[in-house]
Amino acid sequence: MTLRRASALPTTLILAGLIGLLTYGNSARVALLGDGLLQGTRIEGDRFPKRLTGPDGAVQVIPAPPQRIVSAILSGDHILAALVPPRHLAGVTYLVDDPSISNITGLIPPSVPRIAAEIETLLALQPDLVLVADYTRAETVRLLAAAHIPVVRFHQHASFRGVMDNIRTLGQVVGAVPQAEQIIDDMRRRIDAVVQRVRERKRPRVLYHAPGGYTMGAETLIDEMIEQAGGINVARELQLTGPVKVQQEVMLSLAPDVIIVADWSATPGPQAIQGLLHNPVWQHIPAVTNRRVYAMRGAWLTSLSHYAVHGLEAMARILHPEALAW
């Protein structure tokens, strides 16, 4: 099988043709794939050409390192910036320039288009590789597959191991294996350093508090951050999994020792925690009484890339400042 790229026809004609194929043609199998049936990308081969098994299970041959890569996810922007030169980027997300959520503002030249994950835009860029995740709309992934565009789909990001697997897979696909392994080795070294320093410390009970009353339960990267930083995620006491909205009364009943608040401002500061510190109903909670309510940069807390290690280190310094005075 050879690699085929989207034609130079107008995007509207390409999209109309793909929808027709998905509805009536031989690609009906792809149209039936919902979110739950799409999978992560697999890559085989130490040298090019390589075999890529896409989210729909179809196999494509990648003859050489991709030259027109489009990232439809912010974590993809972050990882690509460390793996490939900007000239190989045909598009990155519009979020890459937002200092409240991006860790790489200013690193991607303005000549690289900023996009949203809309199928018309993705096809118009005529990419030879597109990065998506399990939270990308399934129909977008299906249409990319129907256009025979190679797709890397991140589907493991609830742990540092999952993030490392994503970095390794992308490094293999774009021909940047040494760079990817260097990033992974650096992540492991820094994570191990934190774990060793807090191992014998008393573990405070920690509540992650996000806007809208959300917290993070088990099977999330923030849960792993709390545990490896030397804390106990109180959301686990409620047997919560994933991101969950929790009533304020329930949060209060958990009586955490420490509260971590995500700060989404462009210039992080103490304003993010003022609402909790001065809210009368929170005054009897140990974290508030002892002034152990902290704002952390949201771009570190929710990064699904190697930048999440910055979040782990910052959290460990909050929970155990005496052990991480470096």
Whole-number pLDDT of residue 35: 60
Q: Which of 82, 3, 7 is nearest to 49 (CA)?
A: 3
Domain boundary among 120, 143, 175: 175
Indicate whether 150 and 221 sit together in one domain: no
Whole-number pLDDT of residue 32: 42
Domain CATH code at residue 262: 3.40.50.1980
Please, which pLDDT band fits residue 5 given cuts at 50, 70 and 90? very low
Find all residues with CB under 8 Å of 74, minimum gap 6, and list them: 93, 95, 96, 101, 102, 303, 304
Distance of CA 174 to the CA centre of its chain: 18
Number of domains in the chain: 2
* Res 31 pLDDT > 70: no
Q: Which of 301, 298, 323 is nearest to 312 (CA)?
A: 301
pTM of the complete model: 0.88
Q: Residue 42 falls within a domain, yes or no?
A: yes
pLDDT in tens, 62-83: 999 999 999 999 999 999 999 9
pLDDT in tens, 185-212: 999 999 999 999 999 999 999 999 998 8
Indicate whether 144 and 51 sit together in one domain: yes
Whole-number pLDDT of residue 268: 64
Q: Which domain holds residue 89?
A: 11-175
Percent of the chain with pLDDT over 70: 87
Indicate whether 133 and 228 sit together in one domain: no
Please, which pLDDT band fits residue 17 given cuts at 50, 70 and 90? very low
pLDDT in tens, 92-143: 999 999 999 999 999 999 999 999 999 999 999 999 999 999 999 999 999 9
Phi, psi of 52 (to 5 degrees): -110, 125
pLDDT in tens, 219-232: 999 999 999 999 99
